[in-house]
Amino acid sequence: MMKILIFNQKGGVGKTTTALNLGAGLAKASGKTVTLVDLDPQTHLTAAMGLRAETLPWNVSHWLADNQKFQPEIISAQLQLIAGDCNPPLQRPLNTPLKTQTDYVIIDAPPMWTPEVASLMQLCDWVLTPMEPEFLSMQGISRLMQRMEIENIPWSRLRLLLCRYDDRLVVHREVRARLTERFGQNLLAEVIRNNVRLAESPGYGQNIFDYAPTSAGAEDYATLVKTILALENYSMERG
């Protein structure tokens, strides 16, 4: 099971969009099962799938308690969802493994650093950080890496993903070059281009592959999925 935590302390950077479309892309490309975990109290990921968190029989508290009485909401044969606010809210370290019966777990974390987030980073294979191509974003990444170092979380788990990228803009190209120079292999070569279809699809409760399969957004997330699958296979071969 591969576990990916999607996290950025800054909101509005494409975190939920990435969770939704990465999960859907992995399910479609690999033919394997994917669990999406909506940890953000605003439950935007749940809404983007056309659902309401308060109507689901299963929530995050059940999952973390490993309560077998409940089952995740089944979205399709390959994609399922765990959502809803924890009660009480989780502000403590997690001491138990993340358990699902699926091949991939994609966690949409809240945009704040808490002991829970630090614990999830310890338990996950990747910390995927979507970010906009702005110079101030680099300061946020530096602070994130400092926090990871304090918590003894290896930087090798961190992957930076540029979202809403426009190669025609000088500032976007400059930020990408600076990120490459400063963070090296932590920055994914793939970018998610600015694409209106990505903004539209949650309003219809659909991922980008179902809503606009020929769009630039679908193309970019498909490329990201191929990279993750290739890196996963490479790790398995070495391990």
* 3-class SS of residue 222: helix
Residue 93 DSSP SS3:
coil
What global pTM score does this model have?
0.89
What pairs with residue 222 in β-bridges?
Answer: none
Predicted confidence (pLDDT) per residue in 184-206, tens digit = 889 999 999 999 999 999 999 99
Quote the mean pLDDT of the chain. 86
Count Cα neighbours of 212 within 13 Å in the Cβ-side half-sphere: 18
Neighbours of 92 (CB within 10 A): 11
Q: What's the pLDDT tens digit per position in 40-52?
A: 888 899 999 998 8
Q: Which CATH number belongs to the domain containing residue 24 in this structure?
A: 3.40.50.300
pLDDT at 35 over 80: yes
Q: Residue range 73-101: average pLDDT? A: 62
Angle between helices 135-150 and 170-183 (to 10 degrees): 20
Boundaries of domain holding 93: 2-238
CA 209 to chain centre: 17
Domains in the chain, number = 1
